């Protein structure tokens, strides 16, 4: 199994590499198009700001490369947001792979309670793909062997709206997409590499599931 982690001007890449080491999977960090195209799986990580990230991708032709990928791709945090059409963060045109908009999180709950933005910390994820009346979720998907409403670790100020590609949702001032699937593209708003056992299981699922 050859996994490529896309190298661009986004933070948190080392923690993703460390997670792969813990899982016993080898991954290469690269911006070489040939290496990315030939990989069995591609990770598109990210911590940063949308417009500068998109500018970096366009300047190096990585935007078109990502759009053309046919193997499973997993966007993490900003990487997931950039899969959408548009982000309210500095009015940014994104990759346009997932038909959805990324919106700023509200600083007030529906009941008027003040919320801290960015949303930092542990929150529950309710998965919809493959959900049955029993737990864990049915086998074969991103959330295989992960109990419903498990806690994952979040750090973000913007989030993708609920859309036709949503496979998991979380509440923080509003319901938002915490995991998405569109064709061969997956995304998670949380950080699986920082989410202890359930995060490692999700990464393992992505690396081993049959597509």
Residue 135: predicted pLDDT = 37
> Residues 49, 70, 77, 88: which is the catalytic one?
77
% the chain with pLDDT above 90: 80
Phi/psi of residue 154, nearest 5 degrees? -115, 145
Residue 40: predicted pLDDT = 95
Q: Which residues pair with 171 in a beta bridge?
A: 175
pLDDT, mean of residues 156-174: 96
Residue 94 annotated in active site: no
Residue 103 has pLDDT above 50, yes or no: yes
Predicted confidence band of residue 130 (pLDDT cuts 50, 70, 90)? very low
Residue 129: predicted pLDDT = 59
Residue 25 has pLDDT above 60, yes or no: yes
pLDDT, mean of residues 138-148: 81
> Residues 59, 94, 191, 200: which is the catalytic one?
191
Average pLDDT, rounded, for the chain: 91
Specify the number of domains making up the chain.
Answer: 1
Residue 77 annotated in active site: yes
Pick the residue with more confidence: 12 or 86?
86
CB 145 within 8 A of CB 205: yes
pLDDT, mean of residues 58-66: 96
* Cα distance between residue 179 and residue 190, in whole Å: 8
Structural domain range at position 45: 3-208
Predicted confidence band of residue 209 (pLDDT cuts 50, 70, 90)? confident
CATH number for the domain spanning 52: value is 3.40.50.880
pLDDT, mean of residues 173-196: 96
DSSP letter string, the chain: --EEEEPSS-S-HHHHHHHHHHHT--EEEE--HHHHHT-SEEEE---S-HHHHHHHHHHTTHHHHHHH--S-EEEETHHHHTTSSEETTTTEE----SS-EEEEPPSB-TTS-B--SSEEEEEEEEE-TT--SSSSBPTTSTTBT--TTEEEEEEESEEEPP-TTEEEEEESSSEEEEEEEETTEEEESS-GGGSHHHHHHHHHHHHH---
CB 103 within 8 A of CB 117: no
CA torsion 199→11→161→103, rounded to 10°?
Answer: 150
């Amino acid at each position: 199994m050859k996994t490529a982690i896309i190298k661009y001007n986004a933070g948190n890449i080392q923690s993703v590499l460390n997670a792969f080491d813990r899982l016993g999977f080898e991954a290469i960090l690269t911006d070489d198009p040939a290496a990315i195209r030939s990989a069995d799986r591609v990770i598109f990580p990210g911590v940063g700001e949308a417009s500068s990230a998109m500018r970096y991708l366009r300047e190096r032709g990585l935007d078109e490369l990502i759009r053309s990928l046919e193997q499973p791709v997993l966007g993490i945090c900003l990487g997931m947001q950039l899969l959408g059409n548009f982000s309210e963060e500095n009015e940014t045109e994104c990759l346009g792979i997932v038909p959805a908009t990324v919106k700023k999180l509200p600083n007030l709950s529906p009941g008027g309670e003040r919320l801290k933005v960015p949303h930092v910390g542990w929150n529950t994820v309710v998965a919809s793909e493959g959900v049955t009346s029993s737990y864990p979720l049915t086998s074969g998907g991103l959330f295989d062997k992960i109990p419903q409403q498990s806690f994952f670790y979040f750090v973000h100020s913007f989030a993708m709206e609920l859309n036709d590609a949503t496979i998991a949702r979380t509440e923080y001032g509003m319901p938002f997409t915490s995991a998405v699937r569109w064709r061969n593209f997956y995304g998670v708003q949380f950080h699986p590499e920082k989410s202890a056992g359930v995060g490692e299981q999700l990464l393992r699922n992505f690396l081993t599931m049959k597509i």
